[in-house]
Amino acid sequence: MKLVRYGEYGAEKPGLVDGTGVLRDLSAHVTDIAGDALLPESLANLRALDPSSLPAVEGAPRIGACVGRVGKFICVGLNYTDHAEEAGMAIPDEPVLFMKPPNCIVGPYDNVEIPRGSQKTDWEVELGIVIGKTAKYVSVEDAYDHVAGYCVINDVSERHFQLERGGQWDKGKGCDTFGPLGPWLVTTDEITDPHVLDMWLEVDGKRYQNGSTRTMIFNVPFIVSYISQFMSLQPGDVISTGTPPGVGLGQKPPVYLKAGQTMRLAIAGLGEQQQTTVASA
């Protein structure tokens, strides 16, 4: 299934995209694509519905983040061999973890703000994991049982804040609008192998990232299992799994975003995002 949240920011409704691309309303069956609606039994109930029996959504409403009420937004840094090489950093022995605050989450087509004082705002197309069942001390073998599905994430980052202002990475990762999610939450039954997905990102029509999840260092089940050893994961938590090469920081010379530009990014089977950059108010 391709699950969607649509409508005005803060008042999104649940929906799904049927096999013909029509957006259908799920409001009679779940209140949101969030929390308990992502449990395995809840997804099984939604999967059993005949999409043609659901009301078609008229017009072209705003598409919101594909997951609501995200409790934790956890990210894995330097998780692609070719990106680590691009950054001139050693391949990590264990996953590098950091957090983005959930309030940075926006829809896949919402504007991305260039923060005040920004010098080096950058882009990162990433595979997102959406948790569907509480995970605490889970094994690698059982990890997939705790995954509801996958989505596209743009892990927007301000490198000056992140790397040159002291402290942890979070201050360069959590600015408002720095976490576009979606357009869809694609359930695991539609993605046979999340480790063979092509992914790309363009800025103003120029392709900077053109990679694949094949070069991930730590794979999906390992990441879920690993994080669950340090903190429990709940339905609706989101994990961003790292980016392939081609970020602005890695260009020679580096290239960074400014207001008035357009980012387009996609992952095979998970849909496409597009954002316009604007100056923060």
Strand-strand pairing, 185-187 and 2-6 = antiparallel
The answer on pLDDT for 98 being more than 90 is: yes
pLDDT tens-digit readout, 15-46: 999 999 999 999 999 999 999 999 999 999 99
pTM above 0.85, yes or no: yes
Q: Are 97 and 75 in contact (CB under 8 A)?
A: yes
Strand 13-17 relative to strand 23-25, pairing: antiparallel
Q: Which CATH class is domain 68-279?
A: alpha beta
**For residue 256, which phi and psi values (nearest 5 degrees)?**
-130, 160
Judge residue 139's burial from the number of C-beta atoms within 10 Å of its C-beta, 0-12 exposed, 13-18 middle, 19 or more buried.
exposed
Q: How many residues does the chain have?
A: 281
- Residue 84 predicted with pLDDT over 90: no
Confidence of residue 74 (pLDDT cuts 50, 70, 90): very high
Q: How far apart are the first and last CA of the chain?
A: 37
